[in-house]
Amino acid sequence: MNFYQNKKILVTGGTGMIGIPLVNKLIKKKAKVTVVSLDDKSRCPKGAKFVKKDLRDFNNCLKVCKNQDIIFHLAGIKGSPKMALEKPASFLYPTISFSLNMLEAARIAGVKNYLFTSSVGVYSPAKIFYEKDVWSTMPSKNDWYAGWAKRVCELQVEAYKKEYNFNNISIIRPANVYGPYDNFDPKNAMVIPSLIYKATRKSKTFEVWGDGSPIRDFVYSEDVADAMIQMIEKKINGPLNIGSDKDYTIKEIADNISKLASKVQKKIKWKKTKHQGDKKRILSMKDANLKGISATTSLEAGINKTVKWFIKNENRLDNNRYNVFKKKQS
């Protein structure tokens, strides 16, 4: 039996890096999908209904939640840790207002299942991140504002379960996600897309911040979308990590990208005085694996797919995306 067939599903942020593959997968499962986003309609996958609404307006949230069976809430602000520290309010306000409005509107509309997209940023520095450890610690100073924003939204989920018995709410905490449709602007992009952009320039070298020693967990966007679909279907309502279950140094990532992104492997120029974040950020996949959820895309395969997509689509990347950092504030 197809759990998703004929279900009315709303995907906020359905024009983003995780949202696009998620919507495509749901359409293949014969769901009736609506996408709400501030991006241009051209980014919406074929077969889905597109609605351009700002979720900071509660009335907009009420409208888009009406008559929906399931909501995947992915909408948020994405950027590098450096950008999050430089423009914390640009992360904090939209992230919190999107989520507070959407969950309340979903409750009022009688939505049956809801998934909130949290992040690795909720965790405090540690050798490995376990789901149960979040509330006994505080977010890393390198993710201070974005991390607290996501924690506030997770706290809202707990409150709604306790007061309203809205129990079918899933929380997914992805590792460092990468893939096609990402933000590749080196001024505010995350590690992998930023390095892909630099490695595909004509210069013989490309610059990488730090000394290459920090260790990270990277997960391909398609794998995160698959995990989201499984969490709703399996009614996994507690917070759940989704990562690759592997760790890589930034040097390994840079070497891999240099090899895959250009015909001649480029020399890496390390900027050791630049900010490089926490030493290690790895998600435990023990709980996810026990529930039959895992990432299946290898790092090399994922980077290779992402590089090929970027080279093919680079010239039209920023023309149809909403960018909170470029908008004038009133």
Q: How far apart are CA 182 and CA 129, in angstroms?
A: 25
Task: Give the domain extent around 17.
Answer: 8-179+219-245+281-297
Q: What is the CATH number of the domain that holds 58?
A: 3.40.50.720
- Give me the pLDDT at residue 264, please: 60
Residue 276 forms part of a structural domain: no
Say if 94 falls within a structural domain.
Answer: yes
Residue 218 host element (H or E): strand 218-220
Q: Which helix (H) or strand (E) holds 10?
A: strand 8-12
pLDDT at 329: 45
CA angle 39, 42, 48 (to 5 degrees): 90
What is the dihedral sign for C-alpha 75, 4, 157, 154? negative
DSSP state letters, 138-155: ---GGGHHHHHHHHHHHH
CA distance 178 to 291: 23
Number of domain units in the chain: 1
Q: At what angle do helices 58-65 and 88-109 cross, to 10 degrees?
A: 40
The whole-number pLDDT of residue 259 equals 83
CA dist 5 and 194 (Å) reads 38
Task: Give how far Cα 57 sits from Cα of 94, 102, 153, 202, 315, Å.
Answer: 10, 10, 17, 44, 33
Asked whether residue 60 is domain-assigned, the answer is yes
Within-domain flag for 190? no
Question: Does residue 126 form part of some domain?
Answer: yes
> pLDDT tens digits, residue range 275-330?
777 788 889 999 999 999 999 999 999 999 999 999 999 876 665 677 665 654 44
Predicted pLDDT at 321: 72
Model pLDDT, residue 328: 46
Q: Which sign does the torsion angle of CA 282, 285, 288, 294 carry?
A: positive
Q: Please give the pLDDT value at position 330.
A: 42
Nearest by Cα to 65 from 105, 20, 112: 105
Q: Is residue 96 part of a domain?
A: yes
Alpha helix locations (H) across the chain? 19-28, 58-65, 81-86, 88-109, 144-164, 191-199, 221-233, 250-261, 286-290, 299-313
SS3 174: strand
261/155 Cα distance (integer angstroms) = 41
Contact between 72 and 12 under an 8 Å Cβ cutoff? The reply is yes
Mind listing the pLDDT tens digit of every residue in the chain (330 residues)?
A: 799 999 999 999 999 999 999 999 999 999 999 999 999 999 999 999 999 999 999 999 999 999 999 999 999 887 666 777 788 888 888 999 999 999 999 999 999 999 999 999 899 888 889 999 898 888 888 888 888 999 999 999 999 999 999 999 999 999 999 999 998 987 788 889 989 998 888 887 888 888 888 889 999 999 999 999 999 999 999 899 999 999 999 999 998 898 887 766 677 888 877 777 778 888 999 999 999 999 999 999 999 999 999 999 987 666 567 766 565 444
Q: Are 250 and 213 in contact (CB under 8 A)?
A: yes
Q: What is the pLDDT of residue 80?
A: 67
List CB contacts of 308: < 8 A, sequence separation 6 or more.
none
Q: Parallel, antiparallel, or unpaired for β 169-174 and 113-117?
A: parallel
The token pair at 217 is 């967990």
Number of other CB atoms surrounding residue 226 within 10 Å: 20
CB 242 within 8 A of CB 293: yes
**What pLDDT score was predicted for residue 175?**
95
> Is residue 201 domain-resident?
no
Q: What are phi and psi of 316, to 5 degrees?
A: -125, 25
Query: Does some domain include residue 21?
Result: yes
- Tell me if residue 72 falls in helix, strand or coil: strand
CB 146 within 8 A of CB 300: no
